[in-house]
Structure 1
Amino acid sequence: MTADTGRKYRAYPTRGQDQVLTGWGHTVRALWNVALEQRVYLWEQRRYTLRSAEQCKQLTAARKELDWIGELPAQTGQQILRTLDRAYDNFWNPGHPAGYPARKKRGNRLSIPFPGQWVEVRKLNREWAEVRLPKLGWLRFRLSRALGGTIRNATVSRDGNGWHISFGVHAERKPDAPNGKPACGVDFGVAASAFVSTETTPRLMRPTLTAHEKRRLKALEQRKARQVTYAKKYNGGKYGTRLRKTIAAIGRLRTRQANRRHDFTHKLTTDLAKNHGLIGIEDLRVKNMTKCAKGTAEKPGKNVRQKAGLNRSILDNTPGERRRQLEYKARMYGSVLVSVPPFHTSQTCAACGQVDPESRKGCGRLFACTRCGHEDDADHNASVEIEARARRTGGSDINSTRSIPRVRVPATGRRRMREASKPAHAS
């Protein structure tokens, strides 16, 4: 019985519990780094693969000799080693996108995992509940929604806004049957966060930071740079109280920005999965799209600052996270997600299928086909083209009010499509 859904709540530890959890969080980070370093050393020196079963025995001995490890619950330490096993398994799996397990820096989010069998939850009233954790006692949290299943694991974490507790829950929810609703294509962009082919206006994400918050964030970043320079020059690199307060203030703003971004993303993906039977999106390579244009000393890049601003705008819209959420929400609500090649979706006429860069001069908002004269918003035209490709790829049996274009340019390569001769305008 594994966890098939998650629940996250705001936790409110006492001052003593806050200090204990902070210490445990740093111990978890150090234990992860030591265990990873041990595995790397044994593989490089002896070609020996170390796993959690053997490291757990060594952890038991270390708990008796090292007080900072002994203060951490034994179940948490074992859970960390098992998580490291899973990280290696994902890295070795060619079908998994995970990279090599990375070391955790001090600035990483504090996180303490617990197995589900050592966790007990009791409800206090309609709004509050408590969870009993090993060696910590009862931790109070805000019961914003019901658990809805059997707890399989729990994780206590801290971000810029405070402490949270997350539960992995086995809710026994099975994928819904096909909902039979209309198909759609979605074009994710920067100017228009999302344009759905069945709608006439784009869905825009409000700025994740207000103008005042942007000015405050810039001032805090500048203050942090000055304080770090002072600490390195006069304090031996040790962070003082003022510098830590500055870092905490930056973390609160960044967390607020991330929460607003996640709120829009969840609302968008849930609405798409519930109200459509087929969802077509572009198979984007976000890492390639957001590569740095700095270049090298011999061959410096061009328009580096402009490219950096574009990269921030792309990442602020989180196209990868939207796709990840659509993948599991589509199964949950009985819809189908189809990713299509992104080549020339913004240059293809959704009415006649003509591919011509001149149809969208200067990458503006207007699309005007040089063949049939079809005019539309460029992002909406791209979303209609994405829907047509998705229907041909994996959802031709989905009912839709839009017909597939009759004339298509064969996708025989990007260069050939660009060099294709342009037919004369119809008289």
Structure 2
Amino acid sequence: MSREAMERRQFGHRARLVLTREESARIDAQAHAARAMWNQLHDLWSMTPKCQRSLTRMDEVLRQARRDIDWYAVLPAQAAQAVLKTYVQAWRNCWEGRADEPSFKARFRTPMAVDIPQGRDLNIVRVHRRWGMVQLPKVGRVRFRWTKDLPVGKRADAENRITGARLVKDVLGWHIAFRIQATEAVPAPHTGPEVGIDAGITVPLALSDGNHQHHGQWLTEKEQAKLLRLEQRAARRKAHRKPGEHTSCRLANTYDQAARLRARAKRRHQDWQHQTTTAIAEQYGTVVVEQLQIANMVTSARGTIEQPGTNVAQKSGLNRAIHAEAWGRTVTMLTYKCARYGGILAKVPAPGTSQRCSACGFTTPGSRESQALFVCRNTGCGWSGNADHNAARNILHLYRTGHALVPAAGRAVVRRAHRVKPPTAR
């Protein structure tokens, strides 16, 4: 195949590390040194006049600090340079309006991470069907869980290789996130059918053709019972803590156990999302979703003291359910997976898709009887069915009638027809 039919793709892969107590302590020390170095750079940047701020000056101060402060030596030199480059890039992102200003990194609220900028230092080898070995600077060779074929050994070349990695710690332990560069064939245009998708709570992903995607609980009954016991235990121990007193080791241990269970549920949810979105991208050529403003949907209904809100508890429960479904992450996965398989992801305006009947095209008050049931109150129609399925049909119809959101000049422009006609037979 010619080079014109090839494209370069960059993506990441995260794997779990298997560390001894000594190895984990070494990486912890590197992460704390990287965080302290960031804070030192932030203080230096704040105290330096604007006319004297430069990457060269910051680099000189960083090198001098590594010579003067002994415990900075636990951090590899390349990882220290990565901290400097990341900090300068954070300011560039702020100046260009892509992010807020860099801030101080607190010890207990900042995720622990160490960057490995160069992939050639990793020396990755697969030793078993399930395990691989990787060389970590100033730590040694450690095992990691092999769940994906990586471009190492004879499979690695200038266009297919690992360009670097990052060590990240969460409640489940240390993980390594590889940065992978690969050259793949440009996919042919997907000739599959069109489908509209409505993200909901009763039906997680409702498809316009009725191929709905469901999932169960992310924790088993025993795990849910254990999580409830841990939350109750934490509440009791917190009640005995005096104001201003530090968190006890027992209370912190309880928090950690509950966090590990929630992290396990999140990983199971992400696994379901990956498998479901991959199947959708493989089957359908055009996927249509709503342009949801999730931040506005989960605003609190508490109100103010002068004007208190109504149904605050119900709205809080709905907000938690929306956050738990992670609709934005699903759309992100569909975006890059549809492109990878040659498909198209389109977005349509969200207002009215849940209240309008997909059979007659009219919006009649009282048709949305509940979260799961839609019954058209229009005289002469009377269509009834799942409310999420009805919304998915409307989403696909909006795309077919030219209501897709088209990016132009950095913003979304809506192509609107004069009126919405009833959908054709499907």
Partner of 1:192: 203
**Counterpart Cα distance in 2 of 1:52 and 1:330:** 40
CA distances 1:296-323 after superposition (whole Å, capped 9, x unpaired)? 3333332222221111100111011111
Corresponding residue of 1:245: 253
Amino acid at match of 1:386: I
Verify: 1:130 aligned to 2:133, yes or no: yes
Corresponding position of 1:58: 61
Q: Secondary structure at the match of 2:215?
A: coil
Counterpart AA for 2:276: L
Name the structure 2 match of 1:171: 182
Map 1:242-391; keep pairs closer than 5 Å: 242-371=250-379, 372-391=381-400
Q: Distance in 1 between matches of 2:137 and 2:348?
A: 48
SS at match of 1:346: coil
Alignment match, 2:192: 181
Matched with 1:72 is 75
Question: Given that residues 196 and 287 in structure 2 are in contact (C-alpha distance below 8 angstroms), is that contact kept between their aligned partners in structure 1?
Answer: yes
SS of equivalent to 1:191: coil
Whether the aligned pair in 2 keeps the contact of 1:350 and 1:385 (CA below 8 Å) is: yes
- Structure 2 distance, partners of 1:281, 1:61, is 53
Q: Cα 1:231–1:313, aligned 2, differ >3 Å: closer, same or farther?
A: same
Alpha-carbon distance in 2 for matches of 1:340, 1:49: 49
Matches of 1:326 and 1:100, distance apart in 2: 31
1:325: Cα distance to partner? 1.0
Q: Distance in 1 between matches of 2:75 and 2:9?
A: 24
**Structure 2 residue matching 1:199: 3-state secondary structure:** coil
Q: Deviations over 1:312-351 (max 9, x none)?
A: 1001110111111111111111110111110100111222
Q: Which residue of 2 aligns with 1:399?
A: none
Q: Is the 8 A contact 1:2 1:170 kept in 2?
A: yes
TM superposition shift of 1:140: 1.3
Return the letter of the residue paired with 1:58: V
Q: Report the AA paired with residue 71 of structure 1.
A: V
Structure 2 residue ranges without an equivalent (≥5): 1-6, 152-159, 405-416, 421-426
Decide whether aligned partners of structure 1 residues 391 and 80 sit closer, same or farther in structure 2, where only a CA change above 3 A counts. farther
Aligned length: 392
Q: Which of 64, 68, 83 is residue 86 of structure 2 equivalent to?
A: 83
Change (3 A) 1:64 1:268: same
| Code of the aligned partner of 2:31 | G
**Compared CA separation, residues 93 and 207, structure 1 to 2 (3 A):** farther
Give the whole-Å Cα distance in 1 for the aligned partners of 2:309 and 2:367: 29
1: CA distance between counterparts of 2:172 and 2:196? 36
Scaled by the length of structure 2, what TM-score is found? 0.83
The TM-score, its normalising length taken from structure 1, stands at: 0.83
TM-fit CA distance, 1:124: 2.1
Q: Structure 1 residue 184: deviation in Å?
A: 0.2
1:418 is matched with which residue? none
Structure 1 residues 39 and 250 mapped into 2: Cα distance closer, same or farther (>3 Å)?
farther
- Taking the aligned partners of 1:31 and 1:369, their CA distance within structure 2 comes to 64
Query: Residue 143 of structure 1 is aligned with which of 141, 146, 155?
Result: 146
- Please report how far the alpha carbon of residue 244 of structure 1 lies from its aligned counterpart in structure 2 after TM superposition: 3.3
Deviation at 1:291, TM superposition (A): 1.2
Aligned to 2:407: none
Name the residue aligned to 2:114. 112
CA contact (8 A) 1:338 1:393 kept: no
Q: Which amino acid counterpart does residue 114 of structure 1 have in structure 2?
A: I
Measure how far apart 1:34 and its partner are: 3.8
Alignment partner of 2:30: what SS? helix
Kindly provide the CA deviation profile for residues 176-212 of structure 1, in whole angstroms up to 9, marking residues without a partner as x: 2211110100000111101011125x32221223444
> What code does the residue aligned with 2:294 have?
V
Is the aligned partner of 1:12 residue 2:8?
Answer: no
What is the root-mean-square deviation in Å for CA atoms of aligned residues? 2.8
Distance 2:332 2:43 in 1: 31
Question: Secondary structure of 1:163's match?
Answer: strand
Partner of 2:4: none
Partner of 2:231: 221
Alpha-carbon distance in 1 for matches of 2:372, 2:231 = 34
Once the two structures are superposed, residues 98-151 of structure 1 have per-residue CA deviations (whole angstroms, 9 ceiling, x without a partner) of 444454441443221111243221222333221112111112112222113411
Deviates more, 1:167-176 or 1:278-287: 167-176
1:54/1:24 Cα in 2 relative to 1: closer, same or farther (>3 Å)? same
Larger strand share, 1 or 2:
2
2:125 match: secondary structure? strand
**Given that residues 8 and 183 in structure 2 are in contact (C-alpha distance below 8 angstroms), is that contact kept between their aligned partners in structure 1?**
no
SS where residue 292 of structure 2 aligns? coil
CA distance in 2, matches of 1:263, 1:118: 30
Query: What is the Cα deviation at residue 80 of structure 1?
Result: 2.1
Distance 1:345 1:135 in 2: 56
With 355-364 and 289-298 compared, the bigger mean Cα shift is at 355-364
- Return the alpha-carbon distance in structure 2 between the equivalents of residues 102 and 218 of structure 1: 35
Label 1:300 to 1:266 Cα distance change in 2 as closer, same or farther (>3 A).
same
Q: Which secondary structure state, in structure 2, belongs to the residue aligned with residue 120 of structure 1? A: coil
* Contact 1:365/1:377 (<8 A) preserved: yes
Q: Given the superposition, is the C-alpha separation of residues 16 and 321 from structure 1 closer, same or farther in structure 2, using an over 3 Å criterion?
A: same
Deviation at 1:377, TM superposition (A): 1.8
